[in-house]
Amino acid sequence: MPGPILIFDSGVGGLSVAASIRERLPDAALAYVCDNAMLPYGTKPDDWLVARIAAVCERAVTVSGASALVVACNTASTLALEVLRARLTIPVVGTVPAIKPAAAASRSGVIALLATSATVNRPYTKRLIDTFAAHCRVLRLAADPLVGEAERCLAGGSADEAVIEACLAPLWREAALDSVVLGCTHFPLLRERLVAASPRPVAWIDSGAAIARRVADVVTAVAPCRAAQQAWATAVQAAPAAALKAHGFPCLEALTLPTDAVTPAPLVR
C-alpha cells in the first residue's frame, strides 16, 4: 500500500504548504516532520545543514513509509534538494520563492521578496531574480522575526503587531511596489496580520498553490486520508504539538536520529 505525502520543515511553517496540498488533494493522507531541535536553520553553516536535513528526511521517510517528500522550507530546498533526490527513491518536491509569478503579475515592475536572511542572501535567490525578474526592480528584505511570530501564533499565542510593522516598514518606502513575495513558508500563516499592517494594498504571493500542483503531478499513488495524521519532531515540545494538532496532525512522536546527526551545530558568525 502507498504511504502518505510527507511534509518537512525546520519548524511548523510548512503547515501553510500542508493547507495548500489538502486543498488540492483532499483525499490524500499527509504526514509532517519538523527539525525544531535545530530551529532556526539560518544560524547554521551550509555543509552541516545539508547533512542534517538529509539525515532527518531519510529517517522520517523510513518511519512514515512516505510516497513523496515535500521540502516545505526555502532554506532546505536551496541547499539540499539535489542530495535528497540522489538518496531517496521517492519523488522530492522543493520550495522556491514565487519570484516568477510575482514578476509576471506586477504592473509597476517593482516587487519585493520578504524572506529570511538565509534565503534573501543566497546565490540561488539571485539566480531566480536574474532569470525571471530581470525586467523588475526587486527589493530583497530579510524579516527573520516573522518566523518567531508565526510559530507563536500557531501555538495559540498573539502576534506582536509592533514587530510585524517594523519588519514591513522598509516596503512602504517604495511607492510603486505592488507585489510582495512571501519567501518563507511561515509567512503565509501571518497573511491576515500582514494585510492589516499594510498602509496600502499590495499582492501577497506565496508558493503554496504551485507546490500543491507539483505534488499532484508527481505523486501517482498515495494512502487515503485518515482521521488522525501522523507527525514527528526532533524535539517534542508543547508549542509545536499544539500547532500541529490544530492543523490536523494530532499524533506527534519524537523522531530518533542516528548519533552522528544530533551533534550540535556551530553558529554562523
57: annotated active-site residue: no
Give the DSSP letter string of 175-240.
Answer: TT--EEEE-STTGGGGHHHHHHT-SS--EEE-SHHHHHHHHHHH----PBP-SS-EEEESS--HHH
Residue the block writes with cell 551550509: 46
Catalytic position from the list 34, 57, 73, 153: 73
Catalytic position from the list 34, 57, 167, 184: 184
Cα distances from 50 to residues 78, 87, 92, 103, in angstroms, run 10, 12, 15, 30
d(CA 75, CA 114): 13
184: annotated active-site residue: yes
Strand order in the sheet with 179-182: 137-142, 110-115, 179-182, 203-205
Peptide bond into 123 cis (omega under 30): no
d(CA 188, CA 72): 12
Cell matching residue 150 = 508565526
User: Which DSSP symbol is given to 130?
Assistant: H
Query: Which one-letter amino acid corresponds to residue 66?
Result: A
End-to-end CA distance of the chain: 47
d(CA 186, CA 169): 19
C-alpha torsion 44→47→53→59, nearest 10: -130
Q: Which are the catalytic amino acids?
A: 73, 184
